[in-house]
Structure formats: structure tokens, C-alpha cells
Amino acid sequence: MLRRTRLGVAAPGSIARSLRRFGPTFGRRARFSRVRMRPPPPASLTIGPLRGTPLARQQGENRRMSPTIAFVGIAHWHAPIYLDCLSRIGIRVVGASDLDAEAGRAASARLGLDFTPDAADMLARARPDFVFVTPRHDRALDELAPVLDRRLPFLIEKPMGVDGRIAAEVARRTAAAGVWAAPALPNRLLEIWDRLARLEAAGRLGALLHASFRLINGPPGRYRTMHHVPWMLDPAIGGGGALRNLGMHGADAILRLARGATPALAAARTTRHGFRERVEEYATAVMTLPDGAVMQVEAGYSWAPSSGGDFEWRIAATGAYLQQTKGLLVVREAGGAIETLETEQPSYLPMVDRVLADFGAGRPPFATLAECAAATDLCDRIYAEA
């Protein structure tokens, strides 16, 4: 029998109270059966051992504050999402830049931000504590360069380049500069991973059997008409279509399960016959891990629901079956136990809160740029196979 109880976890960290004033959806409490999720630390920062960072130099250790943020690559379609997250947790944006001055100026005007075309000038004037790097894919290295020159900590949008080679160079240069950095991989913070780890730690997971990661969003034309980024439909600039943009998350999930092993591709397919764009509207791939477990990634552009798309993460093992969709996580164990969790908070908000909290506390990022580059490289392999 399925038994549900209400527990007092509403949203990550300090943002729970802020979210309640935005309506019933964002402030809604999660419903659990037996499972209490542990929220990450709040977004207000306690400066810890990061003595070499701008935050530590300017504010001193052990002083609480809200960081200031700048955007490099403001014309990216995710910039409004990040701005909404930052406004909800009361963090100020002090500047924006973009190598495409026309697109950047237009985006900044829509978003109500001060715009400076040259990132180096903007960063010198605004003196941000932290930077959100949201570059056009083919300009990832160029947009990042002034951030690394100033040794500023940052969050960078995936895929960090048009291919795995560029993404790996982004990771290499960042490591060489000794800069704190996190990639934008919000699906790494899904509740399914917490439950998977708990089951494994308790010895109840068993051997991995198969897993599938599906993310289908709206039609490709929206990048041209709604998001003001037509370059996303140019493979030379964006590096691909649905696979490069959405399949990245599934590729990262597969590599997380592989734990350093190299998945062997069994089959891959991409299509672009429907919307007749230059990038694929759909991609799927099947691969195996050395232990025999079968993995599948599926990504597409079509008429999926506009809020979050058609999303499903599934992981099957001999001891448990875990399935997370947009609003629900279900865990079924071999012994008959069933646990459920409603998951209604937006995915980028917990990630923004987690990134800023980890940086402020002196913790490593929840994911590394090298891991993001590896997922980009796996997408390259899928393209080659397809």
C-alpha cells in the first residue's frame, strides 16, 4: 500500500521563503513517502577558505553577503531564466556583455540590464563577484577569455563549445587558471540521483540493468522566433540540434552511471526530415557499459509541453526501479516497497542556489567542466555513429 506524508521541505536552501510569494506552484511543499530530502545551503554566502577569490579579498572570511553577478554572453536564450532565478533569491546583476554587440544590446534592453560590448571593459567596471558565462557555442573560448584573465569564478552553459575538443579546451584553460567553475548541468541535481545513492549505500540497489534518459522540448523554430537565437539552427555555430542541446543531459547521466568506463555505442540515429532545419530535430542512441547494462538517450524538438517538455529519467537495477518525470519520482524496490516524491520546483533555481552556496562555502562544484566536456564528446561519438 502506498502511504504519503507531508514533510517540511519546500525548495532548496534560503529560496523557500522567497518562492512562496510567487504563487502556489513555486512555494508548494513536496510530498514524500518516508523520504526526507536534505536541502542545500542557502544562497547567501559565508566566505570560507577561498582566500584567492574576489569575494574573499573584498569581504573577508566568515562574513555573510549576497554576491554581485555579471553576464558574459547575455544574448543566450537561458539568460532570462538565470535572471529570474537571481531575482527570486535577491541577487543583483551589475553588468552584461556579448561579442555580438547588436544581439547583446537588444537582449540587455529586453532584460533591463546595462550593456557593455567588451567583456573585459564590463568586468573591470562592474567588478562582479561571480560571472554567468552563457556564450554562443562557437564563441565559448573567446567569451570566457576575459573571465579567466581576471580569475573570476563562474558558471558556464553547456555544451561549452561546438564539439568535445573545444569543450575540453575550456576545461583545460580553466584548470590552468585555477579558477572555481561549474557547468550548467541542472539535471545532476534531480532527486533520482539522491535516491539512487541512498539505495546503493544501503545495499539495496543491486546490479545495474538498463537506463533511459529522454528530453523532448518544443519545435526548433522557437529559437528563431521566440528566443532570438537563430544561430541555434546553424550546425556550424551551435554544433548540432536536439542532441547537442538536450541530449547533453542524457549523455552526462550515462557517463555518471558508467563511473569512468567508456560506453560502447550499439546504434544511433538522427533525423531532420520534418521541420527541414539544418540541425536534427530528433536523436537517439543505444549503448552498453562494460558490465552489460544498456543505456539509451533520446532528445528531440517537437510539440512537447511548453513547460519542461516531455521528460523522463529511468534507471533499472536488480534491486530497484527508479523513474522520474517532470512532476513525480517513483522508486519501486524488489521487496515491494514503493516511495513517491512530487517534484514541482523548477530545475534551474536549485542549481543556481547550489552553485552560489558551494562557491561561497569553499566547496567544490557539484559537477566539473571536465565532466561536461566528456558529455559533449559522447555526443560527438553519437553524431559520428548516426
Return d(Cα 379, Cα 272) in angstroms, integer.
17
- Residue 263 is given by DSSP the state P
CB 221 within 8 A of CB 215: no
Contact call for residues 64 and 45 (beta carbons, < 8 A): yes
pLDDT 10s digit of each residue in the chain, 386 long?
333 332 222 333 333 333 232 232 223 333 333 333 333 333 333 323 333 334 333 333 333 468 999 999 999 999 999 999 999 999 999 999 999 999 999 999 999 999 999 999 999 999 999 999 999 999 999 999 999 999 999 999 999 999 999 999 999 999 999 999 999 999 999 999 999 999 999 999 999 999 999 999 999 999 999 999 999 999 999 999 999 999 999 999 999 999 999 999 999 999 999 999 999 999 999 999 999 999 999 999 998 776 678 999 999 999 999 999 988 999 999 999 999 999 865 579 999 999 999 999 999 999 999 999 999 999 999 999 99
pTM above 0.75, yes or no: yes
The residue behind cell 539522491 is 194
Q: Counting every residue, how long is the chain? A: 386
How many angstroms separate the CA atoms of 45 and 185, rounded? 21
pLDDT of residue 327: 86
The span from the first CA to the last CA of the chain, in angstroms, equals 45
Q: Which CATH superfamily is domain 187-346+367-385 in?
A: Dihydrodipicolinate Reductase; domain 2 (3.30.360.10)
* Residue 374, beta-bridge partner list: none
Give the C-alpha separation, 204 to 196, whole Å.
10
Render 156-176 in DSSP notation, one character per residue.
EETTSSSSHHHHHHHHHHHHH
Q: Counting runs of H as helices and runs of E as strands, what totals does the chain give?
A: 14, 17
**Which grid cell sits at 273?**
526530415
For residues 341 and 329, give the distance between their C-alpha atoms in angstroms, rounded to a whole number.
Answer: 5
Q: What is the pLDDT of residue 26?
A: 28
DSSP 100-130: SHHHHHHHHHHHT--B-S-HHHHHHHH--SE
Where along the chain do its domains lie? Answer: 45-184, 187-346+367-385
Q: Do domains 45-184 and 187-346+367-385 have the same CATH topology?
A: no
Task: Please name every residue paired with 266 in a beta bridge, in sequence order, or none if there are none.
Answer: none
Cell readout for 158 is: 553547456
Residue pair 151/127 in contact (Cβ under 8 Å)? The answer is no
Q: Are 107 and 98 in contact (CB under 8 A)?
A: yes
Please report the pLDDT score of residue 50 as a whole number.
Answer: 34
| Distance (Å) of CA 53 to CA 359, 370, 371 | 10, 21, 23
Nearest to 147 by CA among 167, 173, 165, 169: 173
Pick the CATH number of 45-184 from 3.40.50.720, 3.20.20.140, 3.30.1240.10, 3.40.50.150: 3.40.50.720
Quickly tell me which residue has 538498463 as its cell.
210
> What is the predicted pLDDT for the residue at 65?
60
Bond prior to 159 in cis (omega within 30° of 0)? yes
Give 367's Cβ-side CA count (13 Å radius).
25
DSSP string, 179-223: --EEEE-GGGGSHHHHHHHHHHHTT-S-SEEEEEEEEEES-TTHH
Q: Which residues contact 378 (CB under 8 A, 6 or more apart)?
A: 164, 251, 254, 255, 263
